Chain A
């Protein structure tokens, strides 16, 4: 397929200290954000964290209580939604049920008095590979097809920014995977800035170049999927993206690029560069797949007990209780080194220092852990 690069280097989208209040309730709290032109950006967070409100303010469907929004040099804070060169793919697609697929896609073009509607619509339909459906009505299409039409309807207008509000929420898992790849392909082809709102961390990690994790109206941390996963800066981010073991520890010494910490008589090491707090009370974080059921390394906990075991195909997941009654999650790859432990077996745990990170110890260990994942 020919490249249909349509971005005209319009400039970055900048949210400058925006807040949104509904009465006394603060949905978005003094949020600042710069989204580079042409990037695939994800706003990730649990329901009610303010991500959709942020999106709606960018779309012009809500007005910020304070702050400004601009694209390049243009301030669009109070511009009406229909005057903004920003288009949205709505959560349930919001296709026009009375119009054919062709007319749905042509809607934006006709409103702006564009001349060669037919050609543009066909191009957009081909982009989403549904050219043969142009005469149908939305109700005659499957969920996945409607989803793509919603994308085509927005993209055909060559917006400066395309907003996607939980666009895959209504699809089943398999179709969702397929659409994630599809959306990524479309974004690379058209080169428009995509801002994708989702509560699904896997979806955000699969598609986005940059992810901003939101919680209670604020951005907790922003970075690439790898950065957020491997070096989270808060307990919320550590727990919200994947699973994480957090151990309360005390700093013993900081020297030679290493921080020595201890918990209940055990001492561990964290590289100083991976400690994000100067506090003496820290949370030592280590991902379940980084834990090994061995006792060779610098960082190890002996005399633990297996309390639960579940086989999940590619790996076996163990719950292991430390001598001081803290339960840790361990994923063990199902390959030659498999230990095949039973509940009640005694084990030791160990991990590499470079796989750990230190967070401020004043946080709730469970922040972001048990959030309802499906709205």
Chain B
């Protein structure tokens, strides 16, 4: 900011130059701002307005008029409670599983991997080189009747021949867990890697065993990563519909599937819009409560 400082000091002919300079921040902001207004702010208002529309009696499918009918929200919610609860339940389980898988992985990469650290990080990110959709389809192969998981399981004496994994809640939760794993691993790694190994040595020096050190030093210091990772996993998982669509069955539908079918199959825009807003609001409330509770604001 040195040049700004100089500008305010020089008295002669500073007027127009100063004005031009004060515009610079706005010009820098402009591309992002225009993008967000066009593709985020306007659509969200349009969605909000759609959510209270009503189809007039006898009008064509897809024709709606604004009547500020807020009861749309109640109707939409009551009709889809089951999918709501399921969405948060599946997303919650997937988040916990992802945390359980990612923490040891991130810990190992951060503290024990040595020269293999970068290779392992690339491997964590590698799935992103393939499309989300393809990876999910691949999971239906993996869990399929002739797939490696089931054929291995069938070797066990107590596993029934008729056991199926696809089209089950198990498959949907597995898919969600798998697909969002990198979003959990990377922030966890980042915060574990930032821990000064000497603080861990200091803990050992101060009479804490390995496990106590983990509990009292490593975990608290990695909390920013845990919070970031769980949010990055939970939020998209709660709104996801691809995993339920490709790996589930009609009774494993999540709220994302309902919204998708309301928009594209039923062409019931107001219900879809109302459901979208309810989902957003619920996630926002949960996230706020979670961040308050975890109390990591001073650590981040």
Contact = CB atoms under 8 A, between A and B. Distances in A.
B205 A81 contact: yes
A92 B202 CA distance: 11
A96 B205 CA distance: 13
Interface string A34-64: 0000000000000000000000000111000
Nearest to B202: A94
Interface in B177-197: 196
Most buried by A among B201, B203, B205, B221: B205
B220 A112 contact: no
A97 B199 contact: yes
A157 B203 CA distance: 13
Chain B interface residue number, banded: 20 to 34
Given A96-B217, A97-B221, A111-B212, A90 B201 contact: yes
Contacts of A81: 201, 204-205
B208 A111 contact: yes
A82 interface: yes
A88 interface: yes
Most buried by B among A60, A96, A137: A96
B208 A82 contact: yes
Given A91-B198, A92-B196, A96-B217, A59 B203 contact: no
B206 interface: yes
A180 B199 CA distance: 24
Contacts of A107: 203, 206, 208, 216
Contacts of A157: 206-207
Contacts of A88: 201-202, 205
Most buried by A among B198, B201, B202, B208: B202
A126 to B, nearest CB: 20
B125 to A, nearest CB: 28
A108 interface: yes
Chain A interface residue number, banded: 20 to 34
A3 interface: no
A72 to B, nearest CB: 19
A82 B202 CA distance: 9
Contacts of B212: 111
A94 B217 CA distance: 11
Contacts of A91: 198
A132 interface: no
B259 to A, nearest CB: 40
A155 to B, nearest CB: 12
A127 to B, nearest CB: 17
A19 interface: no
Given A94-B199, A111-B212, A153 B299 contact: no
A61 B204 contact: yes
Contact of B199 (A59, A61, A96, A112): A96
A157 B207 CA distance: 10
Contacts of A83: 207
The 4 A-B pairs of least Cβ separation, nearest first, read A108-B206, A94-B198, A111-B207, A94-B202
Interface of B: 196, 198-199, 201-209, 212, 216-217, 220-221, 223, 298-299
Interface of A: 59-61, 80-83, 86-88, 90-92, 94-98, 107-108, 111-112, 137, 153-154, 157
